[in-house]
Amino acid sequence: MFVEQTLREGLKTHFFGRKIYAFGSIDSTNNCAKAIAGCGAAEGTVVIAEQQTSGKGRLGRLWIANPNENLTFSVVLRPSIAPDTLSVLPFYVAVAVAQAVEKIAGVQVECKWPNDLLIHGKKFAGILIEGSVKQNTVDHVVIGIGMNVNQQHFPADLAPKATSLRLETNREINRVQVFKETLLSLENHYKQTTSSGFDTVVPLWLSRTTMLNKQISVLQQGHTITGIMKGLSREGGLVVLADGTEKVVLAADTTVVGM
Ligand code: BTN
């Protein structure tokens, strides 16, 4: 069970995690963070839970993680950016988490569009970002991170594509250390992301993806497009060259062909 005092002890950030709400069990840390952000919670406030009863994934899916083995937490942000640039945030979070995990676990982390983090081609973490815009101004954004840290067994349907830091390193990983390093990395990249946005963070994200210039399959609303990934659009979409034309895909599931 997480305790606020332990999570804050030795934390090297200035404002990420200065206030932490730690729960044994909660429906979703994103839901809680959104509720407190709506009531004025300060930027950097964290909600963390040992267990989520309705953890949310992308595209309305569930995020299921064993208690006492993983990390599920959300951070409230109040970025001074235009609503149409919010699409940069998943790339910022992915790069920041990847760097933190590499530092602690010593394994190379890949980014998979739109919001997955992989090790050796298997997913160990996902990001869910939810924003609130009022009168064409960003009021707050909640970034939710789910990370498989020490989980060693996954349901049969997930096992072929899911992994954890423990499975990839063959050692138990200190969850609190990963949490603190992740908050520090998020804070370190935050200023640059909100000032120079897409141009800084996207090249870092692209340098970590194995999808670029590869043949990929994009499953979107029941139909599949196969093409070459050429990059990212300004809205954060995937640029795919298919049948001689470049298409921008905004929400889909992707697979690198042959993986
Ligand atoms: C995905 O890969 O589909 C995104 C998963 C995001 C899960 C995290 S766990 C903490 C936060 N609270 C939630 O309900 N979801 C996010």
Q: How many CB atoms lie within 10 A of CB 214?
A: 13
Strand (E) positions, the chain?
20-26, 46-52, 71-77, 110-112, 116-119, 122-134, 137-147, 215-220, 223-232, 238-242, 245-249, 253-256
Cα–Cα distance for residue pair 231/237, rounded to 1 Å: 9
Task: Select from 21, 27, 145 the residue to mutate for testing ligand 1; criterion: most ligand atoms less than 8 Å from CB.
Answer: 145
**pLDDT bucket at 257, cuts 50 / 70 / 90:** confident
- Here the tokens at position 91 are 């790339």
Parse the chain into domains and list their residue ranges.
4-206, 215-257
| Torsions phi, psi for 88 (to 5 deg) | -75, -20
The percentage of the chain sitting over the pLDDT mark of 70, rounded to a whole number, equals 99
The percentage of the chain sitting over the pLDDT mark of 90, rounded to a whole number, equals 87
Mean pLDDT over 239-257 rounds to 87
Q: How many CB atoms lie within 10 A of CB 152?
A: 12
Task: Select from 21, 25, 63, 163 the residue to mutate for testing ligand 1; criterion: most ligand atoms less than 8 Å from CB.
Answer: 63
What is the Å distance from ligand 1's center to 156 Cα? 20
pLDDT tens across 47-64, in order?
999 999 999 999 899 999
Q: Taking the model in full, what pTM does it have? A: 0.95
**pLDDT bucket at 258, cuts 50 / 70 / 90:** low
What is the Å distance from ligand 1's center to 147 Cα? 9
What is the Å distance from ligand 1's center to 244 Cα? 36
Q: Atom 2 in ligand 1: which residue has the minimum CA distance?
A: 126
pLDDT > 90? residue 253: no
> Beta strand pairing status for 137-147 and 122-134?
antiparallel
Domain range 4-206, CATH architecture: 2-Layer Sandwich (3.30)
CA distances from 199 to 36, 93, 172, 193, 234 (A): 31, 15, 37, 9, 10
What is the Å distance from ligand 1's center to 143 Cα? 9
pLDDT (0 to 100) of residue 196: 82
pLDDT > 70? residue 243: yes
Give the class (CATH, top level) of 215-257.
Answer: mainly beta
Task: Select from 31, 51, 66, 72 the residue to mutate for testing ligand 1; criterion: most ligand atoms less than 8 Å from CB.
Answer: 72
What's at 138, amino acid-wise? V
pLDDT > 80? residue 259: no
Atom of ligand 1 nearest to the CA of 56: 14
Q: 171: number of CA atoms within 13 Å, CB side?
A: 7
pLDDT (0 to 100) of residue 68: 97
Q: What residue spans of 114-254 are helical by DSSP H?
A: 165-169, 175-196, 198-206
What is the Å distance from ligand 1's center to 31 Cα? 10
Q: Which residues contact 84 (CB under 8 A, 6 or more apart)?
A: 235
